[in-house]
Amino acid sequence: MIRELIRKLLAIAAVNVSCLSSANAAENRVALVIGNSEYAHVAELANPKNDAADIGKALTRLGFGVTVKLDLDYASMRISLRDFSEAAEDAEIALIYFAGHGIEIDKVNYLIPVNAELRSDRDIEFEAIRLDTVIGSVQDSGGVRIVLLDACRNNPFVADMVRTKASRSIGRGLARIDPGGVLVGYAARGGTIALDGDGRNSPYASALLSRIETPGIEIGKLFRLVRDAVLEKTDGYQEPFTYGSLPGKDIYFVPPATQAALAVPEEVSLFDEMLEDFAVAEKYGTIWLWRQFVQTYGQFEDNELVRLAVARKSELEAEWETASRMASRPLWLEPEFDGRGQARLTREQSKLLQTSLAYLGHYRGRIDGSVGPQTRKAIALARLQLGLPAGTNVDAALLRVLPDVPATDALKSAEATVYAEDTLPPGLDPRLDHALRQFPNTPVLFDYFEGRLYLAVREREGTWNDASKAASRAGGHLAVISSSAENQFLIGLFSRDQKFIKKDSSGTLYGPVIGLFQVPGSAEPRGGWAWITGEPLSFTGWSPGNPDNFEGKQHYARFYTPSRFVRPGSVPRFWDDTRGNLWDLGYLVEIE
């Protein structure tokens, strides 16, 4: 198989070298690629920096002289466009790709730098770059001119933007245009919204990357194929669209391969083999298979399957290392064992077993020491997760790798505590061990509820978006509340430490923020509230009269009790809509 793989790689390399050398001999190609992800005044976008990096690499392989720029402010964007206009002047193909935020106001389109605030509609001219300026930077080129915009996302600036003119319209996505002599590609048709996607790349960038290096696809057809792929991937929600025109001649990023270059036996393509090997590794999920896949195909580091395989391999290796470390530690629970090695647990030991299974997230019943069907099911799930032979056996192998209940309980505290990495005991629930290591200098409280791990994180500064990123790094998300019992549990968790509670001059109590936010552009004050995970808002705990969008800028939720309900010993027990500031209080994290 390896010999056959090398033969195919050599053949593909020959095709690509032939195509690119002929293309480069005939054409001077230049590209400016911009990815704006880390916006200073709204939530960070996950994909644009990845999209820009990957598109830049693909264009480089296609013979373009590529300039990749990430997270450009207003001045840097203008300078980059100015410099590119000079390089594009003599180019036979001049291409600009932008991923980030874009906005349309009064039918004029703008691309948004990372330092834009856009507090009012009149700020747009002074803080954003007109699309006309971007198109103008390639107008002097005598060759093919292409501008690609993955900038039609749902724009967070709009919700807080003050409108100085009642008649001024702010549209969805970007407005349709009619450029002359330039092909402008939108990730979504004018007036509609593009999706970010849930992978490394946006749906539009992913579709481009999977087709742009294929030999023999004329550019017009390429963008039609991209359109079809995005429509399929988004279930018809997002339709890319192109505006403008190209010359009448056929234009290729990669010309059709010559017959001589294709003189290779037509058996199974390399990509077909990769798909087959990936499916086998995915089916059986062993470290050995993922290592073999990465070893075989690792040189194709930009391929989505290879990236997924590398991630799978790393996850399994980390789990294996953790399991190996736990398997070598002494038993924290020491029952008697029968002749077959099965534990004979007392009722109190069975309670500890149930608690440990709950710390892994498998047991959600009562801690009563009764080993019934629910407990046995949790044992079976734990054995599978921990790489032990299947079954419901409680043996020494299982007890060695289950979370150490006494050590975990000893870490719990009445006040938020800073847990230094070198003081964490072995044998913790892997979720807890990982989470505590993400907050080495931050006081936290933690506890479990219905198999889920929760942390109250005491953060002195920052925003709701900062808290959301920190929760993700810890392996979870800001708390999502689906029942009165869960709501009461969280109140009990953070109210252990009065530093999570603030009283203002009127006597009103405020607490940590949760994972509830209002979708930009929703009807105020009650429209569009959603959990960060996308779960439906089935349970609500709003205080009377809230949400009220006080002063027009309250789009997040925190615990709260108005002064008229405050009694001695009261804690924040309702929800209030609020601005994104953490107010020296902190936030609640949930880890499944």
Domain segments of the chain: what residues?
A: 2-244, 270-327, 340-402, 408-591
Chain-centre distance for alpha carbon 489: 28
**pLDDT for residue 164:** 63
Query: Does the pLDDT of residue 477 top 90, yes or no?
Result: yes
Q: What are phi and psi of 37, to 5 degrees?
A: -115, -50
What architecture does CATH give domain 408-591? Roll (3.10)
pTM of the model: 0.50
- How far is 401 from 396, CA to CA, in rounded Å? 9
Cα atoms in the Cβ-side hemisphere of radius 13 Å centred on 260: 3
| Mean local confidence (pLDDT), 525-551 | 92
Degrees, nearest 5: CA angle 191-195-201: 135
Q: Nearest CA to 195 among 184, 204, 206?
A: 204
Q: What is the DSSP secondary structure assignment for residue 331, as one 8-state letter?
A: P
Residue indicated by tokens 């790798």: 401
CA-closest candidate to residue 306, choices 315, 298, 314: 298
216: left (phi over 0), alpha (psi -120 to 50) or beta: left
**Do β-strands 556-561 and 574-578 pair in parallel, antiparallel, or remain unpaired?**
antiparallel
Q: Which residue has the higher pLDDT, 21 or 350?
A: 350
Task: Share the mean pLDDT of the chain.
Answer: 85
Confidence of residue 25 (pLDDT cuts 50, 70, 90): very low
340-402: CATH number: 1.10.101
The per-residue pLDDT for range 276-331, each reduced to its tens digit, is 888 888 887 777 788 888 888 887 777 888 888 988 888 777 766 666 655 566 88
Q: 97-108, pLDDT tens digit by residue?
A: 999 998 888 788
* 265-283 CB burial, b ≥16 within 10 A, e <16: eeeeebeebbeebbeebee
DSSP state of 563: G
Q: What's residue 192's pLDDT? A: 73
Which tokens is 456 given?
A: 């109250």
pLDDT of residue 327: 57
From the number of C-beta atoms within 10 Å of its C-beta (0-12, 13-18, 19+), residue 441 rates as exposed
Predicted pLDDT at 27: 62
Whether residue 344 contacts residue 334, with contact meaning beta carbons closer than 8 Å, is answered with: no
Look at residue 541 and tell me whether its pLDDT is greater than 70: yes
Q: Confidence class of residue 262 from pLDDT cuts 50, 70 and 90?
A: very low
pLDDT band at 7 (very low <50, low <70, confident <90, very high): very low
Residues 6+ apart with CB under 8 A from 443: 415, 416, 417, 418, 457, 458, 497, 499
261 against 586, higher pLDDT: 586
Task: Give residue 325's pLDDT.
Answer: 59
**Which residue did the predictor score with more confidence, 446 or 325?**
446
Question: What is the rounded distance in angstroms from the CA atom of residue 41 to the CA atom of residue 39?
Answer: 6
**For residue 322, what pLDDT is reported?**
60
Q: Using 50, 70 and 90 to split pLDDT, how confident is the model at 266? A: very low
Query: 525 preceded by cis ω (within 30°)?
Result: yes
CB 36 within 8 A of CB 153: no
Q: In the prediction, which pLDDT does 289 show?
A: 83
Q: For the chain, give the percent of residues with pLDDT over 90.
A: 45
- Helix, strand, or coil here: 137? coil
Residue 258 is given by DSSP the state P
Q: Where does the pLDDT of residue 261 fall: very low under 50, low under 70, confident under 90, or very high at 90 and above?
A: very low
Residue 490: pLDDT band (50, 70, 90) is very high
Q: What is 2-244's CATH number, 3.10.690.10, 1.20.59.10, 3.40.50.1860, 3.40.50.1460? A: 3.40.50.1460
Distance between CA atoms of 500 and 487, rounded to whole angstroms? Answer: 16
Confidence of residue 496 (pLDDT cuts 50, 70, 90): very high
Residue 189 neighbours by CB under 8 Å, 6+ apart:
173, 176, 239, 240, 241
Residue 160: per-residue pLDDT: 67
Residue 353 predicted with pLDDT over 70 = yes
Contacts 24+ apart (CB under 8 A), 486-489: 486/449, 486/450, 486/539, 487/539, 487/541, 489/447, 489/449, 489/454
> Are the CB atoms for 201 and 303 separated by under 8 Å?
no
Predicted pLDDT at 480? 96
Q: What is the pLDDT of residue 173?
A: 63
Q: What is the distance between the alpha carbons of residues 47 and 187, in angstroms, rounded to a whole number?
A: 13
User: DSSP letter at 122?
Assistant: G
Give the pLDDT confidence score for residue 163 in this predicted structure.
67
Would you place residue 2 in the very low, low, confident or very high pLDDT band (cuts 50, 70, 90)?
very low
Give the H or E element holding residue 436.
Answer: helix 430-437
Is residue 508 predicted with pLDDT exceeding 70? yes
